[in-house]
Amino acid sequence: MHDVVVKANATSNMKSSIALFAILVVSFLSLPCVHAGDPEDEITQATMRFVFKEAGVNDPVVAIEKAVDGYARVKVTSESGATDPAIAFLKALPGGKWKVLTLGTGFAPEDLAELGIPASLAK
pLDDT at 25: 31
How many CA atoms within 13 Å lie on the side-chain side of 8? 5
Whether this model's pTM surpasses 0.75: no
Task: Give buried/exposed letters for 88-108 (b at 16+ CB in 10 A, else e).
Answer: bbbbbeeeebbebbebeeebe
pLDDT tens, position by position, 60-115: 999 999 999 999 999 999 999 989 999 999 999 999 999 999 999 999 999 999 99
The second-level CATH assignment, the architecture, of 39-121 is: Roll (3.10)
Phi, psi of 2 (to 5 degrees): -60, -40
- Residue 85 to residue 78: CA distance in whole angstroms: 7
pLDDT tens, position by position, 17-70: 444 333 333 333 333 444 457 999 999 999 999 999 999 899 999 999 999 999
pLDDT at 10: 52
Task: Rounding to the nearest 10 degrees, give the CA dihedral for residues 99, 101, 104, 108.
Answer: -150
- Residue 108 to residue 77: CA distance in whole angstroms: 21
pLDDT at 28: 37
